[in-house]
Chain A
Amino acid sequence: MRSNRQNVIGLLFASPWILGMAIFLFYPVISSLYFSFTSYSILKPPVWIGLSNYQELMQDEIFLKALSNTLIICAASVPLTTALAICLALLLNTKRKGISLYRTLFYIPSLVPTVALAVLWLWIFNGQYGLLNEGLSKFGIKAVPWLTDPSWAKATLIMISMWGCGNAMVIYLAGLQDVPQSLYEAGELDGASAWQKTKSITLPMISPVIQFNVIMGIIGSLQTFALPFVMFPGGQPARSTYVVAMYLYDNAFLYQRMGYASAMGWVLFLATMVLSWISLRLGDRHVHYGGGA
C-alpha cells in the first residue's frame, strides 16, 4: 500500500516531464512518421500515399544535392572541429597563471546566438571589405570570394562551424583531467616525449570522450540550418550551400508540402542513425575504456 502510494507520488512529481515529452516530443515524432506517408498541406486532411514521398525523394535532384552538401559539410567539419577542440583542450589543460580566464575566453564564442554570429561572419567574409581578405592582402593574397563562389561558400561554412568548438573543448578538458597522473609519471620514467605521451596515454584515455563528441558533432552538423539560412538565402550561390534542413523547411513552410518534408526528416534521421552507428562500431576497435574489464 505504502509502495503504491509512493509510486503515485513519484509519478505525480515526474508528470510534468512525462506530459511534456508525450505532448511535445512523442506525439510530433509519431505524427511526422505518419505524415511522411501522406500528402499533407496542413489545412486539408492528410491523404495516404504510401511510399510515394520516399520514392520521390530518391529521384529529387534538389534533395540529393542538399544531402550531398550536408554530408560534405559534416565530413569536413566534424574532424576539423574535433581536432581543434582537442588541441585547445590540451593547451588549456596546463597549470598556468590565469588559465581559468583563458578557458572562459575560449568557451565564450559558443554562447553567441547563431543569427548574430552569422551576421558577424558575413562582415568578416565580405569579399571587398572583410577582415579576412584584408588580412590576406597583407601577404599578397588576392581577395577570395568567400560568399559568392560555390566552392568557397561551402568552405566558408565549414570554417565557421569550427567556431562553436568551445562546447566540445570543455568536455575534452573534463576528460583530460580524469587521466591518471600516474600514467604520465610512468611514461616519463620510460623517457616518453610529450608527443608520445599524448599519442599513447592522453588520446587513448580520452577516446570515449572523443567518440561522444564525434557522434554529437555528426548529429549537429547534419542538422545545420540557421547559419546557411541566414548567410546564404536559398542556398546561394547555385545551391552550393543548400542543406537538407533548409530544403525541409522550404517544403514544410514555403511550399506547404508537410508530408514530403516529414519524409525528408525521417531520411535525415536514418542518415544520422547510420552515421552514429558506424561511429560506435569503429569505436569498438579504437575506444579505450580505462575502467573496463
Chain B
Amino acid sequence: MNNALPAVLCVLLGIACACGLESSQVSVSKTDRIEVQYWEKWTGEEMEAMKRIVDKFNASQSEIHVKYLSVSGIADKTLLATSGGTPPDIAGLWGDQVVQFVDLNALTDLSDLAKDAGVVEENYIPAYWSICSAYGRLYALPTSPGSGALYVNRQLVPPQYASPETFPKTISEFNKFAEQTDRRDPSGKLLVASFMPRDGWGLWNMPYVFGDGFLQDGQINVNGKDDLEAWTWVKSFTDRYGVTETKSFRSGFGNYSSPQNPFLSGKLATYADGPWFSNYIRMFKPSMDWFAVPFPYPDNHPELAGFSTMNLNTLVIPKGAKHAREAFRFLAFVQEQKNMEQLCMDQQCNSPLSNSSQKFLTSHPNKAIALFDKLAKSSRAVPPVPLGIRAQIGSEVGNAVDQMELGELTPQAALDQAQSRLVAMWAKYQQQVLGK
C-alpha cells in the first residue's frame, strides 16, 4: 500500500507526458502558414466540390492554409463554440439562419471587409444578397444557392400539357390540368397525383404565390387574405383526393434522396424543387423525360408571376474567430466568378452572382438552369422571412395546415390560432433577444 501513492503519481505523470507529447507532435506537423478552421455541413459530393475550392485556395497561398472540417449539426455546434470562445474561423450556415445568428450577436460584421475586397452588392442577385444581410449590414457571403421551380414528368401528364410552352400558367389552368392528370384505379385508389402541395421544396411559402405571404409591412401576418387563399387552395387537393386517400397515398412516399421519392417513383406528375434535383433524377431515374416550369400564378394577376422560393448556403465568420481577416480572404476567393461557378456547377446549383457566364449556363448538368437563374432574378423571388423566429413561423403554419387538412379546424380558425401564437412569440423574442 505504501507504494500506491508513487504508483498513482507515475500514472498521472504518464498521462500528462502523453498529452504533452501529442501536443508537441501537432505543433511539429504544423506549417508556418496561418491555419484557418472551416466548419461545413456538407458531406459526400457537396463536400468534395467545396474541398476542390479549398485545395485551389491553399495551392494559391503561401500565408494561409484553410482546413475543411465536415461538421454535423453545424448551427448548434457553431453557436456553442462561439459561446465558449473557441469558434471556427469560418462556418457554413444556411441562409435562413443568418438573421437569428445576428440577433444573438454571433456573427462578425463583414461590411467593411467586403467593401475593401471589392465584394459589392451589385455583383449579386438581390434576393441572395438580402439573405446575407441583416439590419443594413453584411454578415455572410454566398456559396451555393437555390431557387424553386416545378419539375414535370412528361410521361405522366396529358399530351396537351407536355411542354414548357403549353404547361398551365395560371392557377385555374393548373386546377384543370390537375383534374386531367390524376389517375385512380377502378376502386378509386389514387395511382398518380398531379401535385401534392405539401410535398416539395419551398411550398411552405405558398402564400407568396397569392400575394404578400407571411409579412405585411414588416409585421407577422399569417392569417391575411393571401394566406387564406393560398392554404384553401392547398386544402382543395386534399378535399379532392379525400383525407383518408391522401394520407394513405402520402404514407407510401419514400425518402427524398432515394428512388422512392414520390416524383422519381412516378407517384407525382409534378414536384417543386431546386436545381440540384436534376442530380437525383440522373442518379435514380435517368430514363425520366422531364422539364421544368415556373409555378403558376393567380388568375388575373400576371404581376404575381415568377414566384420562386429562395435559399442559400452561406459562409460566415463567427464572433471571436481568431483569424477573421485571413478567413475573409478565403470568403472573397470563393466569390470570384470562376470559383463560384465551379462550386455551383459541381453542386448542381444556380449561381448567386448577377451575371452568369455563358459557359456556366450551357454546360451546367441541369438542362433547365437558365430557368432557375431567371427565377432567382425575378421580382417574385422569395427569400426566407428575415426574422429571428423563422423556425417558429414554419412550425406554426405547418401545424395550422395539418389541422385544416385533417378537418380539425377551418382554414381561418387554424390560421388565426397560428397568428395569435406567433404574435406572442415575436413579442417575447423582441423582448428577450432583441432587448426591445
List residues of A whose CB falls within 8 A of some B CB. Answer: 5-6, 8-9, 12-13, 39, 41-44, 47, 56, 61-62, 126-129, 143, 145-150, 234, 236-239, 250, 253-257
Contact = CB atoms under 8 A, between A and B. Distances in A.
B395 A234 contact: yes
Contacts of B251: 126-128, 145-148
A256 B104 contact: yes
B249 A234 contact: no
B398 interface: yes
B389 interface: yes
A66 to B, nearest CB: 12
Given A42-B79, A237-B406, A250-B391, 18 more contacts: A9-B4, A12-B8, A39-B431, A41-B104, A41-B432, A42-B104, A43-B82, A43-B83, A43-B104, A128-B251, A147-B251, A148-B248, A234-B395, A236-B402, A237-B402, A238-B399, A250-B395, A257-B432
Contacts of B391: 250, 254-255
24 contacts: A6-B1, A8-B5, A9-B5, A9-B8, A42-B79, A44-B433, A56-B428, A61-B421, A62-B421, A126-B252, A127-B250, A128-B249, A128-B251, A145-B251, A148-B248, A148-B250, A234-B395, A234-B398, A234-B399, A236-B398, A239-B402, A250-B395, A255-B391, A256-B104
Nearest to B432: A39
Contacts of B247: 127, 145, 148-149
A237 B399 CA distance: 8
B399 A43 contact: no
Contacts of B403: 238
Given A9-B8, A43-B104, A256 B433 contact: yes
A250 B399 CA distance: 15
B248 A42 contact: no
B5 A5 contact: yes
B317 interface: no
A104 B408 CA distance: 46
Residue in A12, A39, A127, A148 with the greatest tally of chain B CB atoms within 10 Å:
A148
B77 to A, nearest CB: 10
A8 B433 CA distance: 48
Which A-B residue pairs are the 8 nearest by beta carbons?
Answer: A127-B251, A128-B252, A238-B402, A148-B247, A145-B247, A39-B432, A148-B251, A43-B104
Contacts of A143: 248
B76 interface: yes
Contacts of B90: none
B392 interface: yes
Contact of B244 (A145, A237, A239): A145
Nearest to B249: A128
B83 A42 contact: yes
B76 A238 contact: no
Residue in A62, A126, A256 with the greatest tally of chain B CB atoms within 10 Å:
A256
Interface string B378-397: 00000000000101100100
Contacts of A56: 428
A143 B251 CA distance: 10
Contacts of B8: 9, 12-13
Contacts of A39: 431-432
A238 B402 CA distance: 5
A24 B391 CA distance: 30
A62 B254 CA distance: 29
A39 B244 CA distance: 43
B248 A127 contact: yes
Given A238-B402, A238-B406, A41 B433 contact: yes
Contacts of A61: 421
B297 to A, nearest CB: 29
Contact of B76 (A6, A147, A253, A255): A253
Contacts of B432: 39, 41, 47, 257
A236 B405 CA distance: 12
A15 to B, nearest CB: 9
B100 interface: yes
Contacts of A236: 398, 402
A61 B396 CA distance: 12
B104 A44 contact: yes
A185 B421 CA distance: 66
A5 B254 CA distance: 65
A257 B391 CA distance: 12
Contacts of B192: none
Interface string B218-252: 00000000000000000000000000100111111
Residue in B251, B392, B428, B433 with the greatest tally of chain A CB atoms within 10 Å:
B251
A270 B125 CA distance: 52
Contacts of A62: 421
Contacts of B80: 42
